[in-house]
């Protein structure tokens, strides 16, 4: 050690930690952020001024010192995801609630697609002024891993579906034979088998749809049909599988829509199944629809556990499940609501949740009417 170093060092007696003054002066927050390789950003709610860090600029494909506005950043988002990203961020900004969103961007000279996650919220420093701030992370590797897993799940699910479809057909044949023989025991047993086969087929269809959604391959077969009629059919089917709950249909308008009937049915089944899963068996579940301004709105309300505000924004992400003591024993893959959101978005509709812990939840979605 040279003389200058010795002079600058803190005497051992007064420095039990052994750290020198220059080390202690390091900005620990900056070190933590640099180590995590995340970008930070701040937005003024009054002026709308957007202040990104150097890493944030880099993540969006800008030079570290290059000017970048919020609008510039959003132009990097892949076009089909851009409108939703702007609406979600703008909604969180205006309503002053927590933000979490994932979207792909095209950035850099090669215009290679990368995935970013944006987390944010409002803060009020000692000055009394509020500001919107958060972090940005590159989650491309995670997304690629999810896609590989999804492809594998899709392949396995496809192989499982063929024998189950055959099994369902044989069960129906045996049930018809039992009815002719008036064999009540066999009729009851086969009815239970059929119920379990239906559950497994619904699970496999969800996994197959997840594989398609994450690969961007949800194909719609649109046709004109009565939504109120479909709701009645789905409730009847749900009561067959989940007979312990009381589902009330609020009188719906006679509404015709042009959509993929099978996929809208899947959305309704998912929402009703979730309501039943997270509700008491004696609790009432309501479903209804209404028409306004060329939009039909469907709502499913339960009296279940409810959802915390910080979880609502993440509900429609793939594989996301609310984890707490109440939900840890409830089975599920965390893909149902993600698929619902993908299907509704492909129909140019919107889906959202309104909830309060301990007071139940209401899930709503809109679709263009004819």
* Residue 170 CB-half CA count within 13 A: 8
123 DSSP assignment: E
pTM, to two decimals: 0.53
Per-residue model confidence as pLDDT tens digits over 73-89: 999 999 988 988 888 88
* pLDDT (average), residues 325-338: 60
The single residue listed with the structure tokens 């609020």 is 250
Q: What is the pLDDT of residue 26?
A: 47
Q: What is the pLDDT of residue 13?
A: 43
Instruction: Quote the distance between the C-alpha of residue 62 and its chain's center.
Output: 29
* pLDDT (average), residues 210-220: 63
Per-residue model confidence as pLDDT tens digits over 273-290: 888 888 877 788 999 998
Q: 75-83: long-range contacts (C-beta < 8 A, 24 or more apart)?
A: 76/105, 76/106, 76/107, 77/103, 77/104, 77/105, 78/103, 78/104, 78/105, 78/106, 78/113
- Identify the weakest region by mean pLDDT among 5-14, 147-156, 221-230, 260-269: 5-14
- Rounded CA-CA distance 59/41 in Å is 12
Residue 267, token pair as written in the block: 């959305």
Higher pLDDT, 98 or 335: 98
Residue 151, token pair as written in the block: 């492809």
**For residues 120 and 137, is the Cβ–Cβ distance under 8 A?**
no
The single residue listed with the structure tokens 């309060």 is 356
pLDDT band at 19 (very low <50, low <70, confident <90, very high): very low
Q: What is the pLDDT of residue 142?
A: 84
Per-residue model confidence as pLDDT tens digits over 288-312: 998 888 889 999 999 888 888 878 8
Higher pLDDT, 162 or 141: 141
- Identify the weakest region by mean pLDDT among 90-99, 122-131, 206-215: 206-215
Across all residues in the chain, what is the average pLDDT? Answer: 79
């Amino acid at each position: 050690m040279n003389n200058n170093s010795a002079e600058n060092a803190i005497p051992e007696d007064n420095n039990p930690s052994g750290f020198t003054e220059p080390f202690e002066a390091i900005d620990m927050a900056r070190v933590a952020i640099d180590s995590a390789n995340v970008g930070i950003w701040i937005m003024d709610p009054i002026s709308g001024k957007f202040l990104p860090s150097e890493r944030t600029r880099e993540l969006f494909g800008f030079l570290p010192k290059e000017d970048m506005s919020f609008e510039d950043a959003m132009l990097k988002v892949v076009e089909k995801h851009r409108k939703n990203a702007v609406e979600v961020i703008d909604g969180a900004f205006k309503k002053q609630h927590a933000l979490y969103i994932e979207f792909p961007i095209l950035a850099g000279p090669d215009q290679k697609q990368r995935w970013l996650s944006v987390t944010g919220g409002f803060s009020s420093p000692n000055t009394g002024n509020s500001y919107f701030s958060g972090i940005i992370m590159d989650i491309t590797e995670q997304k690629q891993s999810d896609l590989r897993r999804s492809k594998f799940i899709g392949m396995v699910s496809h192989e499982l579906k063929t024998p189950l479809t055959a099994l369902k057909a044989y069960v129906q044949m045996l049930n018809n034979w039992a009815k002719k023989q008036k064999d009540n025991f066999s009729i009851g047993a086969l009815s239970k088998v059929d119920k379990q086969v239906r559950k497994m087929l619904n699970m496999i269809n969800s996994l197959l749809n997840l594989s398609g959604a994450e690969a961007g391959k949800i194909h719609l077969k649109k046709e004109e049909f009565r939504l109120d009629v479909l709701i009645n059919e789905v409730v009847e089917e749900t009561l067959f599988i989940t007979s312990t709950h009381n589902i009330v249909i609020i009188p719906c308008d006679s509404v015709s829509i042009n959509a993929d009937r099978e996929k809208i049915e899947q959305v309704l089944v998912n929402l009703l199944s979730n309501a039943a899963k997270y509700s008491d068996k004696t609790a009432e579940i309501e479903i209804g629809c209404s028409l306004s301004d060329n939009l039909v709105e469907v709502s499913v309300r339960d009296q279940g556990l409810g959802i915390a505000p910080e979880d609502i924004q993440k509900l429609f992400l793939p594989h996301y499940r609310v984890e707490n003591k109440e939900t840890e024993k409830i089975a599920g893959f965390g893909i149902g609501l993600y698929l619902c959101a993908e299907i509704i978005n492909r129909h140019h509709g919107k889906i959202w949740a309104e909830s309060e812990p301990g007071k139940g939840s209401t899930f709503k979605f809109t679709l263009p009417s004819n």
